[in-house]
Amino acid sequence: MAYEEIRMKSEASRCLLCHDAPCTQACEKKLEVANIIRSVRFENITGAARKLGEANPCMDCSAPCMAACNRGAIDQPIHIPEVFSEVNRKEISVPKEKVDLSVDSCGVHFENPFLLSSSVVGSNYEMVAKAFEMGWAGVAFKTIGLFTPNEVSPRFGALEKEDNPFIGFKNIEQISDHTLEENVSFLKRLKKEYPTKVIVASIMGQNEEEWTKLAKIMEEAGADMIECNFSCPQMVGEGLGSDVGTNLELVAKYTAATKRGTNLPVLAKMTPNITKMEEPAAVALEAGADGLAAINTIKSIMNVDLSNFGTAPNVEGKCSVGGYSGKAVKPIALRFINDMKKDERTKKAPISGMGGIESWKDGAEFLAMGCETLQVTTSVMQYGYRIIEDMLEGLSDYLSLSNMENVSELVGAALDNVIDAGELDRDTIEYPRFHHDSCVGCGRCYVSCFDGGHQAIIMDEKTKKPKMNPTKCVGCHLCKLVCPTGSISASGIRVLKKVKEEKAS
């Protein structure tokens, strides 16, 4: 990776993503400055290039956008001309035609795969209407029950790492705090005014009768699908949320009860607070579920404050176990989805995937693992509904550049490449390749390899650059992962372990 690209991404990541951004207002060339920076930040480079145009509009410009940048009040303004120059410098193929992003799942047509997941981001008419106007294909409305919970304050916490304040997120919210009557009115109005958008009614009952009743009410309100919330990890009271999802008998009973109340497609939303998600998934499908949704949040305790030993979110010095979400849970979500797609009982079931989707690329990974639709919450809470613009543009451009004509060609494309650990090639080694032209000699690879690897790297006394000792290197590629300048890559060359052993002897 060239230094220029590193700087471009680093600068874009510093952007505050302001509402009504002053940088855009200040631009004399009338560029969508904030949107271009946001596209870079969310890995939509083709979109950034499309908005910027072929010529560099920042030539001979005094950069009033930088003078207006709110980041300057904190430290230094975003170096916008430099970011734009790097976008222009990259040879980016920008597709002219958009790819059809529509998908059909469980017999329901979606104009694109992206939905708001069942949470506060889709909990009333005004919010969902705004999201629909911006391009979201649908909403899994915040879970509706026959009771209204008494919520706490505060109810959110975030996990920080270095300069990223939001790599993980915790909530201790329960289901909708609106009454049943209010929620029904929201759904009816949304369906009337946005008939082409998909409304998934998430429900939670406390017994079979309630699951059946809620399903019937949701169908009458105009919902297109029902999602059974068997997975919320922070409900108050037994027999609710993840207490259901980990109990096969209850999963079967409540799925069947839901089906009795509706002719709509039913999704069973799975909990990750279990070892084998495919077990309750299979039971739900056998009981009549038409598809699955996964994953819900993970039970967690976050951020112990060592000054008072409270945890986040701190409610008068106390807290409870809550649901963990955000970018950090994506690998866990993909693993569970893979498990369900490999199990004979569940592999044909449509899956609405969620858990850490922040960019179009995250969404594409879920699609490649077999999901048909995608649900998003945490990144909307941090960045707003506007992220849908880069999600749609980025996914369309990726499909176009990959010569795919529709989303269905991507669904499940990665499944065959996830195999049993015993089937992996264990007879060869792929050594890393060191690129001294871009190496700055920081020694991060040396430190990590010596202290956390196999002591296979030495620092050359003359060049002050790292060198590999092939007799010790096992090809773990830790060095590649820790290199801050991208100066270590995979070589693409595999050597038989026997050859290495012979040379060492």
Claim to verify: residue 480 and residue 459 sit in the same structural domain: yes
Claim to verify: residue 75 and residue 138 sit in the same structural domain: no
What is the domain-level CATH number for residue 46?
A: 1.10.1060.10
Q: What is the pLDDT of residues 118-170, one digit of tens each?
A: 999 999 999 999 999 999 999 999 999 999 999 999 999 999 887 777 889 99
Claim to verify: residue 405 and residue 439 sit in the same structural domain: no
Rounded Cα distance between 81 and 29, Å, is: 12
- pLDDT over threshold 60, residue 1: no
- pLDDT over threshold 60, residue 362: yes
Claim to verify: residue 110 and residue 70 sit in the same structural domain: no
Q: Give the pLDDT score at 280.
A: 98
Q: Give the pLDDT score at 383.
A: 95
Asked whether 140 and 116 are in contact (CB, 8 A), the reply is: yes
State the amino acid at position 184 in one-letter form: V
Domain boundary among 393, 417, 441: 417
Domain boundary among 383, 417, 451: 417
What residue numbers bound the domain in which 385 lies?
Answer: 103-153+170-301+324-417
- pLDDT over threshold 80, residue 2: no
The domain total for the chain is: 3
What is the domain-level CATH number for residue 178?
A: 3.20.20.70
Claim to verify: residue 467 and residue 441 sit in the same structural domain: yes
- pLDDT over threshold 70, residue 420: yes
Q: Give the pLDDT score at 143.
A: 97
- 229-233, 263-267, 313-317, 499-503: the lowest-pLDDT one: 499-503
- Tokens representing 294 are 């996964």
The share of the chain scoring above pLDDT 70, in percent, equals: 98
Rounded Cα distance between 357 and 20, Å, is: 25
What angle do helix axes 45-52 and 80-89 make, rounded to 10 degrees? 100
Beta-carbon contacts of residue 444 (< 8 Å; ≥ 6 apart): 482, 483, 484
- pLDDT over threshold 90, residue 58: no
Claim to verify: residue 221 and residue 351 sit in the same structural domain: yes
The pairing of strands 225-229 and 198-203 is parallel
Is 77 within the bounds of a domain? yes
Catalytic center residues: 232
Q: Give the pLDDT score at 500.
A: 63
**Strand pairing partners for 439?**
none
What is the domain-level CATH number for residue 458?
A: 3.30.70.20
Beta-carbon contacts of residue 260 (< 8 Å; ≥ 6 apart): 212, 215
Claim to verify: residue 376 and residue 499 sit in the same structural domain: no
Report the candidate in 330, 334, 388, 401 with the shortest Cα–Cα distance to residue 359: 388
- 105-109, 240-244, 389-393, 495-499: the lowest-pLDDT one: 495-499
State the amino acid at position 57 in one-letter form: P
Place of tokens 């980016």: 92
Q: Give the pLDDT score at 35.
A: 97
Q: Give the pLDDT score at 374.
A: 98
What Rg do the C-alpha atoms of the chain give, in angstroms?
25
